[in-house]
Structure 1
Amino acid sequence: MQTVRGITELEYAFLFTLRKVNSIRLEGFKPFFNDMPVDPYIKGNYRSRRLSRFVVAGDELIKLPHGYLFQSKEYNPLVGDIKREFAELDDAMIELDIFKEMIFAFTDSCKIHPEAEIGVHQIRTSCSPDNMGNPAPEGIHSDGTDFIGIFSVDRNNIQGGETHLYTGKKEKPIFSKVLHPGELLLVNDHEFFHFTTPIKPETDALGTRDVFVLTSPSLLIN
């Protein structure tokens, strides 16, 4: 077991958790990753993205008005201090039971306040034999929120894409793992920096990594 400053990884477990959400049929999500707008704020056209925000009211999920994603340069030195606008999530996907199950897995695990905003970032990172894909072009970072959930939907013809957690940007990671489809990593953003390594194809064809990143608060502004 790894130790960090004399503290074992086990003692950090209450600050991050890895879950396998077996109840979610991932096939229902996959068609919605095939028609994604390219992220215009990242060079290379290898990342596609949609974004919406919600609150949970009892057993219901309420979609909030569209907003801009905003992070300061303190948290995102690459595209910080910019009001970024992305297309919203597909309404047909939002109506799926599996979408609600994913949100509830996040809110229940993190004990999020019922009125807290939740941002849902739908992200596809692509790669080709000529170009690697970079899921975290800003490097080792925190997001400037309270809680983060990374839910893996699909890995197609790729190697790499290993997610790391750090207690400091110059420290060795205390957690390193490829998130396989159906796995949900929950992280206290105040305690850890995170990063995901670049991806490249396993064969001479396009490769893709599909995830949802959930944040609370949402990081969206009007």
Structure 2
Amino acid sequence: MNLINLSKSFNCTADYFLEKIKGINLERLEKYFSQLPADPYLSGNYRFRRLSHLKIVKNQLIKLNSLPFYQSKDDNPLLGNVARIYPELDDRLITIPDFQKITQLFFEFCQLCTNINEIGIHQIRITTSNQQIGAPAPEGIHRDGVDLVGIFCVKRKDIEGGITNLYKAKDEQPIFSRILQPGEFLIFNDHQFFHYTSAITALNSGLRDVFVFTCPGSFAPDSSYSTVSRN
């Protein structure tokens, strides 16, 4: 399987891409999820998150200055129009060849579908227990307000649920519905598809670790968002 050829044949206006990416050592990535800080913008203490803004120049990943994460109220009715500030990805993670491989693959799709050379990378852990359901998308069926979105699953542990769905319209049945397994990468056009991932549950406790890539990153100048507020 030649992933470069697959990306070049991708129809940016109609397709979604789903593949299990071979040659990735997931254990090298897993350890960087264990110390993620809690997301201060959600109650329940079940989502943990970091975010970085990177560009790719001559196949080199370059971390850009930290910027607040922003989505409009139309795209995110729960936390739209709020400037959210998250800690950066660990610099050691960015140097790992496995991380660079999946980032470069996503960037190939960005080059095919846009003229943008910068991306946002969200590192997210969702936890669940018998006291707390974990909701990867508490805002419901939505768009991210970008050109391209990628979801790479790193780990699922002791959970049920977490079904990722793609929709042509919010009021229609999904055209794609699947539990993403560790090592699987889903990439799709944010203008063409709404998306949603259902809640995860566990008998005792469990977790779901993913990287969410966006092209471009969801950032806005200071004049475009409201004052930062947290739960």
On whether the aligned pair clears a TM of 0.5, the verdict is: yes
Aligned to 1:103: 103
Cα contact 1:56–1:114 (8 A) shared by 2: no
Aligned to 2:173: 172
Matches within 5 A, 1:54-65: 54-65=54-65
Aligned to 2:4: none
**Matched residue type, 1:69:** F
Cα contact 1:51–1:119 (8 A) shared by 2: yes
Q: Does 1:214 align with 2:213?
A: yes
Question: Normalised by the size of structure 2, how large is the TM-score?
Answer: 0.87
What 5-or-longer segments of structure 2 have no aligned partner? Answer: 1-10, 222-231
Seen in structure 2, the aligned counterparts of structure 1 residues 79 and 220 have a Cα distance that, compared at 3 Å, is: same
**Matched residue type, 1:212:** F
Aligned to 1:161: 162
State the SS of the aligned residue for 1:68.
coil
State the SS of the aligned residue for 2:41.
coil
Aligned to 2:52: 52
| Deviation string, structure 1 residues 126-171 (Cα, Å, up to 9, x no partner) | 0001211000000000000000000000000000000000011110
Cα contact 1:164–1:176 (8 A) shared by 2: yes
Structure 1 runs, 4 residues or longer, greater than 4 Å off: 11-14, 112-115
| Deviation string, structure 1 residues 39-75 (Cα, Å, up to 9, x no partner) | 0111111000000011111121111001100011010
State the SS of the aligned residue for 1:98.
helix
Cα contact 1:132–1:200 (8 A) shared by 2: yes
Cα contact 2:13–2:192 (8 A) shared by 1: no
Please give the alpha-carbon distance, in whole angstroms, between the structure 1 residues aligned to 2:17 and 2:114.
Answer: 18
Give the drift of 1:220: 2.2
Give the drift of 1:19: 1.4
Please give the alpha-carbon distance, in whole angstroms, between the structure 2 residues aligned to 1:144 and 1:168.
Answer: 15
Aligned to 1:6: none
Please give the alpha-carbon distance, in whole angstroms, between the structure 1 residues aligned to 2:109 and 2:91.
Answer: 25
Aligned to 2:127: 126
State the SS of the aligned residue for 1:29.
helix
**Matched residue type, 2:208:** R
Aligned to 1:149: 150
Instruction: Give the number of the structure whose residues are more often strand, by fraction.
Output: 1
Identical aligned pairs, as a percentage?
45
Give the drift of 1:118: 0.3
Give the drift of 1:108: 1.5
Supply the RMSD in Å over aligned alpha carbons: 1.7
Cα contact 1:165–1:193 (8 A) shared by 2: yes
Please give the alpha-carbon distance, in whole angstroms, between the structure 1 residues aligned to 2:213 and 2:146.
Answer: 10
**Matched residue type, 1:220:** F
Aligned to 1:23: 23
Give the drift of 1:177: 0.2
Give the drift of 1:112: 5.2
Matches within 5 A, 1:13-92: 14-92=14-92
State the SS of the aligned residue for 1:54.
strand
Please give the alpha-carbon distance, in whole angstroms, between the structure 1 residues aligned to 2:109 and 2:93.
Answer: 22
Give the drift of 1:99: 1.2
Aligned to 2:195: 194
Seen in structure 2, the aligned counterparts of structure 1 residues 12 and 116 have a Cα distance that, compared at 3 Å, is: closer
Please give the alpha-carbon distance, in whole angstroms, between the structure 2 residues aligned to 1:25 and 1:167.
Answer: 34
**Matched residue type, 1:42:** L
Please give the alpha-carbon distance, in whole angstroms, between the structure 2 residues aligned to 1:31 and 1:131.
Answer: 23
Seen in structure 2, the aligned counterparts of structure 1 residues 134 and 219 have a Cα distance that, compared at 3 Å, is: same
Question: Normalised by the size of structure 1, how large is the TM-score?
Answer: 0.90
